[in-house]
Amino acid sequence: MRILALRKAFFISLTFCISYLNTNAQDGNITVKQDSKFEQFLNEKRKTNISNAINERYKIQIFSGESEKAKSTLNAFRQEFREIEGTIFFFTPNYKVWVGNFKTRIDAERNLIEIRKSYPNVHLIRPNK
C-alpha cells in the first residue's frame, strides 16, 4: 500500500514538473501614450500635497488683498527670488501670498530680512491646518 502511495505521489510531482517546464511567460512591451499636460498636472498636485502636508513649517506672508494684485505680487516675487517657492491662498475676503517653507524660525527670519527689503509689509506666519 505504501509503495502505491509513493508511486502515485511520484507521478503527480513528475507531472507538475513537466507542466511547469513547458509553460512560458509572455514576453512583450507595453506602450503607454499619455498627454504631456498630465505629467504637469501630477507635478502640480505633488507640490500641493507637499505644501498642505507640512504645516508645521514657517512661511512669510508678503501680500493680502485682491486676486489680481496677489497674482502680480507673486509673479514679481518669483522673478526676484527664484529659489523660494510661493503660493496664493484664499481666506475670505482676501487673497494671501505666502512664500517659503522653512523648517525653523531662524531660517524664516533670515529670509524675512532679505524679503523685507523689497516687500516692507511682510509677516512671519506658521499656518495651522
Q: Are 111 and 84 in contact (CB under 8 A)?
A: yes
- Segment 23-46 shows an average pLDDT of 77
pTM confidence score: 0.55
> Between vectors from CA 18 to CA 12 and to CA 21, what angle results, nearest 5°?
140
Extents of the domains making up the chain? 54-125
pLDDT in tens, 3-23: 667 777 777 877 766 666 656
The per-residue pLDDT for range 108-118, each reduced to its tens digit, is: 999 999 999 99
pLDDT confidence tier of residue 49, bands split at 50, 70 and 90 = low
- Looking at residue 56, its pLDDT comes to 67
Q: Which numeric CATH code is attached to 54-125?
A: 3.30.70.1070
- Sequence-distant (6+) residues with CB within 8 A of 90 are 96
Nearest to 107 by CA among 68, 57, 50: 57
